[in-house]
A and B are shown apart, each in its own frame.
Chain A
Amino acid sequence: MKKTLNLVLAGVTAMGLALSAHAEDYITLASTTSTENSGLFDSILPKFEEASGIAVRVVAVGTGQAFELARRGDADSLLVHDTAGEKRFVENGYATERADVMYNDFVLIGPESDPADVRSAKTAAEAFAAIANAEAPFTSRGDDSGTNRAELRLWENAGVEPGGDWYRELGSGMGPTLNTAAAMDAYVMSDRATWVAFGNRQNLTLVFEGDDVLFNQYGSLLLSEEKHPHLKHGLATKWHNWLISEDGQRAIADFKVNGEQLFFPNAK
């Protein structure tokens, strides 16, 4: 009996050791599903790790949750796409510095048949108005993410208050929302990166792109040492500086899916 107990204890200890985090240098980065799902991190993180010896552990969540993680001190660094929210984060003292890193753009996706005739729209406002007038099915993230906030601003620009049977708020991430749109033959607004890398398109196709208001800026934030002294500020600063350095910017530009560049570096 005692032998068995010892064996079990030894087993538990061994498993516990196997499960504890590695001792190497790493930071935890809170970022958005769009960057993770597109495959950007798989492409640029090895380059950063090679240059710095620092591993980056990405927790990919909605922009709202990413802010919350950083506010509570659970992430060392933040890379999100809600410029207004990011500036407020700095003003409130949770971050000391914000830098533009890259942008991509939002695109309107819809069924091949295009029942609302979005393709003939000249501006994003026209395109959104056309969907509302036709009462064509539209799936919205509805999760207070960066993309969701941008979408709501675009409805406002179009002078439409979205609602009714045709407007479906899903409360889901970008990928699940695209899956639902594909199943429903609905219109949906997506960031370009997630769309290009998305594998389950079925009848969906890109129906509108190119308006300046569809611009989607990503920013990196240096978190406050004062609020959370335990965070790995030194390592996080290296990551932040690398992102906006020549090397980091080139790594972002080099990331392509099917030959298409998905993120455009624009650090100043």
Chain B
Amino acid sequence: MENNAFYVALSLLFSLDAALFQIVMLSLQVSLLAVLIAAVLGFPLGAAVALWRFPGRGGVIVMLNALMGLPPVVAGLMVYLLLSRAGPLGELGFLFTPGAMVIAQVVLVLPILAALSRQKVEEMLGEYREQFVSLGMSRARMMPTLLWDARFALLTVLLAGFGRASAEVGAVMMVGGNIDGVTRVMTTAIVLETGKGNLPLALGLGIVLLTLVILINAGAYMVGELTRRRTG
């Protein structure tokens, strides 16, 4: 029985284990905060690239699209070199803290949010452009209108970003260090337990993580549907 991952997952969930609770909460805090910061930066960036024509715009779009596939461990390495004592931001003492993990995940999620929102906003702009010009709107004024009107599409983009953040392990392992009680999150705990050969426990943690991600997606879907029905 204790070798069955589903049994392990269920007993993990129902025992309300304090250590597990802490790991789950940290995972959620780090990934949600990272996605929030990435959205605040990435959505206006994506909308700006959709709105303005400037030299090198094609290059920016290609870069954003390519960076969507940035391997997490490379992002982790970059942030590590940045935050390491020998690196430019070493003085902050940020390495091996949850804050460092947030930064690494922002690096991973930002291109996804910017690239996908660029695409959504550009589609919508094609539909709205003449009306906007007719209303005398500047490009800067178009940005908030477009972002708000694309809100349902952007919610899906946000979920894609959250999926990437909560699923990755390479970056948080490298800059967080998987320190017990400090920077251990779901994915690094799974790697650790796999390393110990505790495969049922590792898979059980995986099922817990999957359950969480499903719950968050279901919640977002319901919120989206309800508001969509109310505001069209």
Contact = CB atoms under 8 A, between A and B. Distances in A.
Interface of A: 8, 12, 15-16, 18-21, 28, 33, 36-37, 41-42, 57-60, 72-74, 173-176, 178-179, 182, 197-201, 228, 230
Given A19-B99, A73-B85, A57 B198 contact: no
B85 A19 contact: no
Contacts, number: 86
B85 A74 contact: yes
Interface in B89-123: 90, 93, 95-99, 102
A19 B30 contact: yes
Given A57-B177, A174-B195, A197-B196, A21 B90 contact: no
A57 B179 contact: yes
B196 A37 contact: yes
Contacts of A175: 194-197
Contact of B96 (A20, A74, A174): A74
B195 A176 contact: yes
A198 B198 CA distance: 7
A199 B199 contact: yes
A176 B32 CA distance: 30
A57 B198 CA distance: 23
Closest 8 pairs between A and B when the two form their complex, measured CB to CB: A175-B195, A73-B85, A200-B197, A59-B177, A199-B197, A19-B98, A198-B197, A72-B86
Contacts of A42: 180
A178 B199 CA distance: 12
B178 interface: yes
B33 A16 contact: yes
Interface string B65-107: 0000000000000000000111100100101111100100000
A76 to B, nearest CB: 11
29 contacts: A8-B36, A20-B98, A20-B99, A21-B97, A21-B98, A21-B182, A28-B177, A37-B192, A41-B180, A57-B179, A57-B182, A58-B179, A60-B178, A72-B85, A73-B84, A73-B86, A73-B90, A74-B95, A175-B194, A175-B195, A179-B194, A197-B196, A197-B197, A198-B196, A199-B197, A200-B198, A201-B197, A228-B85, A230-B93
